[in-house]
Amino acid sequence: MKRFQRMKLIFAISAYVLFFASCQEVEGNKNIVCYFASWTVYRPGNGKFDVENIDSSLCTHINFGFVGINEDGSLRIIDPWESNDDGLHGFRRLVALKNPHVKVMVSMGGWNEGAAKFSSVANDPIKRKTLTTSVINFIEKYNFDGLDLDWEYPGSREGSNPKIDSDNYITLLKELRATLQPRGYLLSAAVAGGIERINSGYKVKEVSELLDMINVMTYDYHGYFENYVGHGAPLYASHYDVGPINVTLNVASGIEHWLKLGADSTKVNLGVATYGRSFTLADLNNRKPYAPITGGGLAGPYMRQEGFLGYNEICELHSDWTYEWDDEMKVPFRYKSDQLVGYDDVRSMTEKVLYANSKKLGGIMLWSLDTDDFRGLCGRAYPLLKTIKENLK
């Protein structure tokens, strides 16, 4: 009898130790949230990217981008050919990547979906109910692990209502959480990284309490939408930044503002971009920040967008461009003739991950998988994503 009791005690202690160790391991993990953009399957040549190109071992979460929202609040499948069962079964193939270490979520919204419909739906209790019902039905149908809300942005952009969006955003999050959490589903959001949009759109402390993860879009601070050169995602300000707004258009300012306003650092994921913002210079002899431009840089063959170049396009096709490192902003530029691009490489990505470590953030969010060098044409495959994984502590 005593021997049996001792065995029970040993088993209980062993089970506790294993449970505690397991909890410690889970708590010590950092997030690497990777966005998969469904439209990249349409890109030509080496730029074509589909589910099978994802290395799921490099991510903790994979977010499908995007599904949309209808005027009545119901979920809208934007691209049926690539996404759902009438086409290439993209949802099924993506969810098949799930394992105990990888969650697959669906992201609703995005830049092109705008703000107007979100603002209208969030202000109407009937439409909000339609949204939550539609979301849970969709997640359960396709076996996703949760929802990532990408309303860009409450309180700003055309169709927003600055007076009520921030309150309605909280109401919408509460109702989504009440629907998702009891069923074991995650709720995250992609949120603004610029101080003005943070202030106009988010009651930060309440947002932090309601979300499992806060994916801060700390990029697109500058681009050809301005009339001058600027890096899309500088880590810090430089001496060129003059004025109360310009000095805040950087990663550190955005992250620290979220933290200052009460965000839980362990829920905050620092957003990084695997593409650069490019420019056509007005003066070949002036390439400094705030130098005048005539427009965006020439489109690359994969992204096919003026003012953008994927890291894969830069490393594969523009390695002969002159390289410059800005030690204030901790980011690189490349230029040739009247073309210039500011982007992130392995060195600058390392700096950003080390910064995230120093702030004890939850992890890194990456937009997006398709413009890393996923084929390894310039060296090892996924150099930016692997840099994140190797340095995130």
Between CA 274 and CA 295 the distance in angstroms is 21
Between CA 139 and CA 185 the distance in angstroms is 9
**By C-alpha distance, which of 134, 136, 108, 388 is closest to 269?**
388
SS3 of residue 341 by DSSP: strand
Sign of CA dihedral 97, 99, 102, 105: positive
**pLDDT beyond 80 at 387:** yes
Q: What is the pLDDT of residues 287-314, one digit of tens each?
A: 999 999 999 999 999 999 999 999 999 9
How is the chain split into domains, by residue range?
Answer: 30-273+344-391
What does the pLDDT average to over 39-61?
Answer: 97
**pLDDT beyond 60 at 36:** yes
Do 152 and 189 touch, CB atoms closer than 8 A? Answer: no
Q: Which CATH architecture has domain 30-273+344-391?
A: Alpha-Beta Barrel (3.20)
The pLDDT score that the predictor gives to residue 28 is 54
Predicted confidence band of residue 5 (pLDDT cuts 50, 70, 90): very low
**pLDDT beyond 80 at 82:** no
122 is written with which tokens? 């969030």
Do 58 and 34 touch, CB atoms closer than 8 A? Answer: yes
Predicted confidence band of residue 86 (pLDDT cuts 50, 70, 90): low
**pLDDT beyond 80 at 2:** no
Contacts of 275 (CB under 8 A, 6+ apart): 303, 308, 309, 310, 311, 343, 371
**pLDDT beyond 70 at 24:** no
Catalytic residue numbers, as ranges: 152
151 is written with which tokens? 């309303």
**DSSP strands (E only) in the chain:** 31-37, 61-69, 75-76, 103-109, 146-150, 186-192, 213-217, 268-273, 275-281, 293-296, 308-310, 322-326, 331-336, 339-342, 363-367
What does the pLDDT average to over 220-227?
Answer: 98
Q: What is the pLDDT of residues 101-130, one digit of tens each?
A: 999 999 999 999 999 999 999 999 999 999
Length of the chain: 393
